Amino acid sequence: MKYLILSTSLALAVFSVANLVIGESLSKEYVGSEACKDCHVHNYENFMRYASKSRSDKNVLLMLDKLTPSEQKECYECHTTGYGKPGGFVSFEETPELGHAGCEVCHGPGSEHALSGNPDLIIGRLTIEKHCSPCHEDERVRNINYKPLLHSGAH
Ligand code: HEC
Ligand code: HEC
Ligand code: HEC
Ligand code: HEC
């Protein structure tokens, strides 16, 4: 019995180490921009002041009453943080802190990184195709010619 418990916890330990090594985890969740503030004051303040993403909830809230539930869901896909994903936006009542398109729409779910500060646990290098196109029309993105756009709209 003792041996069984020991080998089970050993297997678990090996499993978690393996997860850490490949930088992936089953438990990466969305936590919201506010959770990034303490360690990235400059990025956070610039983002909240200048990026229209930080106010993208207001644009949806203004029209919410006139939209059907399925139209509302469509808006949430692009205008909120992590809609339909672990830890992500549920509704303006339940998860107001995820109501805007925050840091994690570009950098990915940040729960593990925010706990450890380990840069390997967050997406640092971004590409237009992978990280912007899900929400921004390709043509428009290409017209502005990639690079400046990659660094704007953020911080
Ligand atoms: C406990 C402190 C802490 C918190 C909270 C935190 N970070 Fe970090 N972050 C760090 C440290 C330390 C680094 C590595 C040094 C650096 O690049 O500033 C880093 C690096 C990064 C990088 C660069 C990664 C790379 O590959 O170079 C990104 C992007 C990032 N953080 C985003 C976020 C986001 C988004 C959040 C909120 C979800 C967040 N951080 C919360 C400490 C933190
Ligand atoms: C989850 C969806 C989503 C992703 C992913 C996303 N954006 Fe956005 N972005 C938005 C929304 C929504 C707005 C408009 C907010 C509003 O005005 O309500 C916006 C606005 C912008 C703007 C307008 C300027 C400003 O003030 O913010 C730029 C530039 C921009 N995004 C660049 C990017 C780039 C570059 C990437 C990829 C690195 C990216 N976005 C990824 C949803 C997204
Ligand atoms: C496919 C992603 C996507 C969906 C879905 C989406 N939006 Fe947006 N929205 C954006 C982006 C990106 C921008 C920024 C436009 C730009 O600068 O390119 C934006 C901008 C806006 C703006 C500001 C326009 C301006 O001129 O400042 C409003 C208002 C808005 N969206 C409302 C909504 C509403 C309401 C819904 C749901 C019915 C919705 N959006 C669905 C991506 C989306
Ligand atoms: C529109 C997409 C987008 C959003 C939203 C965004 N970032 Fe970034 N972030 C980027 C890009 C692009 C880079 C540069 C990556 C590179 O050099 O390849 C970057 C780099 C970083 C870095 C590393 C370089 C540096 O400036 O220290 C940190 C830390 C970071 N972001 C934190 C944040 C935090 C915190 C937020 C929210 C307050 C945020 N980001 C929101 C796109 C975004």
Q: How far is the CA of 76 from the centre of ligand 3 (A)?
A: 10
pLDDT of 23: 42
**Cβ(132) – ligand 2 distance below 6 Å:** yes
Tens-digit pLDDT profile for residues 117-138? 999 999 999 988 899 889 987 7
Of the bound ligands, which one is closest to the alpha carbon of residue 31?
1
pLDDT of 145: 61
pLDDT of 2: 43
Ligand 3 atom nearest residue 60's Cα: 35
What does the pLDDT profile of the chain (155 residues) look like in tens digits? 444 444 444 443 433 433 444 444 457 999 999 999 999 999 999 999 999 999 999 999 999 999 999 999 999 999 999 999 999 999 999 999 999 999 999 999 999 999 999 999 999 999 888 998 899 877 766 666 666 777 777 89
Q: End-to-end CA distance of the chain: give it in Å, rounded.
A: 55
pLDDT of 150: 78
Q: How far is the CA of 14 from the centre of ligand 2 (A)?
A: 39
Of the bound ligands, which one is closest to the alpha carbon of residue 62?
3
Q: Whose alpha carbon is nearest atom 22 of ligand 2? A: 153
CB 123 within 8 A of CB 60: no
- How far is the C-alpha of 138 from the C-alpha of 35, rounded, in Å? 30
Task: Show Cβ contacts of residue 123 under 8 Å, excluding neighbours closer than 6 positions.
Answer: 106, 107, 108, 131
